[in-house]
Amino acid sequence: MSNLRTRWLTDDVGVIDLNFQGHPALIAVYILRTSDGLVLIETGPGSTIPALRRGMTELGIELAEIRHILVTHIHLDHAGAAGSLLAELPDATLYVHERGLRHMLNPERLVASARQIYGALMDPLWGDFLPTPEDRTRAVTDGDSLVFGDTTLDVYYTPGHASHHVSFHEPERNIVFAGDVAGVRVPPSPLIWPPAPPPDIDVEAWHASTQKLRELDPEQLLIAHFGVHDDVWSHLDGLDTRLDAWVALVEGWRREELTREEMIAALEARVLAEIEADPDSGSLVHASQYVTPSYMNVDGLTRYLDKRDAPS
């Protein structure tokens, strides 16, 4: 059966659903067809390379045509497959924010930290995270313009979800590849969640980043979790509102001296209640388990509050 979520959005912009852990609409990557070869935006984790290959076949293209790989940030679900892909694609180059560059060249600490969280599930979930070659890994920063033949992508630094997060604006079509800074939303659900894992959630920076996206006034946001969204302003407003609401919840629970486990259970109950209350949001159940689990959001927001409230 054909995967209807893997498709060409236009003649030159495609989306591939990586069917993470067998579930549709959890992790998307994007393809740009340019006169300088294919541009892959996000790689997904190492565990989804076979799905990436199948998705490209569905689109009538091949992995070997990729010349440029861009990642919005270095988290495993966005950049985990980069090293494996570059090993297979000797003419391809990776572009990553300057703060994430060293972790792509040597992901040992990143992988060790993730393994502490996931334990025996680490490899089945995420697969290999191999180092990328220094001569084909390029740092980008705010204000850069990447020119690939007839296509230009402008780089905007958009921290908040991660200190190494960038978004890519394609001005000709006026679309933005926004990674995780534009949140988690699985069509047709109207629910928008802020993925807030540790270690460097910064709420003030996140709001500044969503404002930066508003100022671009794009026609569409293309996000990893999941898909294409045309209602850009209301989407970003909903994300900002939910982020502040979750911060307030965690602040209140801390004042009530709830344990970590009690806070996780309370947030999980709230999320599931919202899903159950909306007939279009059933597909978000798996997103709440794999993409933005409550334990990560509680840990990330707790760490943010600790840093924010620490004596200067």
Digit-by-digit pLDDT tens for the chain (312 residues) are 234 589 999 999 999 999 999 999 999 999 999 999 999 999 999 999 999 999 999 999 999 999 999 999 999 999 999 999 999 999 999 999 999 999 999 999 988 888 888 888 888 889 999 999 999 999 999 999 999 999 999 999 999 999 999 999 999 999 999 999 999 998 888 999 999 999 999 999 999 999 999 999 999 999 999 999 999 999 999 999 999 999 999 999 999 999 999 999 999 999 999 999 998 888 788 888 899 999 999 999 999 999 999 887
In a domain, 210, yes or no: yes
| pTM for the full predicted model | 0.95
In a domain, 183, yes or no: yes
Measured CA to CA, the distance from residue 13 to residue 288 in angstroms comes to: 28
Q: Residue 227 forms beta bridges with which residues?
A: 223
5 and 19 in contact (C-beta within 8 Å)? Answer: no
Q: Considering its fold, how many domains does the chain have in total?
A: 1
Q: Which domain holds residue 34?
A: 7-309
In a domain, 2, yes or no: no
Q: What is the pLDDT of residue 121?
A: 85
DSSP-derived pairing of the beta strands 93-97 and 137-140:
parallel
What angle do the packed helices 203-216 and 232-255 form, to 10 degrees?
170
Q: What is the pLDDT of residue 25?
A: 93
Of all helices (H) and strands (E), which one includes residue 50? helix 49-58
Instruction: Give the CATH number, domain containing residue 210.
Output: 3.60.15.10
Cα 51 to chain centroid, rounded: 17
In a domain, 1, yes or no: no
In a domain, 290, yes or no: yes
pLDDT per residue over 182-202, tens digit each? 999 988 889 999 999 999 999
In a domain, 98, yes or no: yes
Q: Which residues of 179-198 are buried (b: 16+ CB within 10 A; e: fewer)?
A: bbbbbbbbeebebbbbbbbb
298 and 260 in contact (C-beta within 8 Å)? Answer: yes
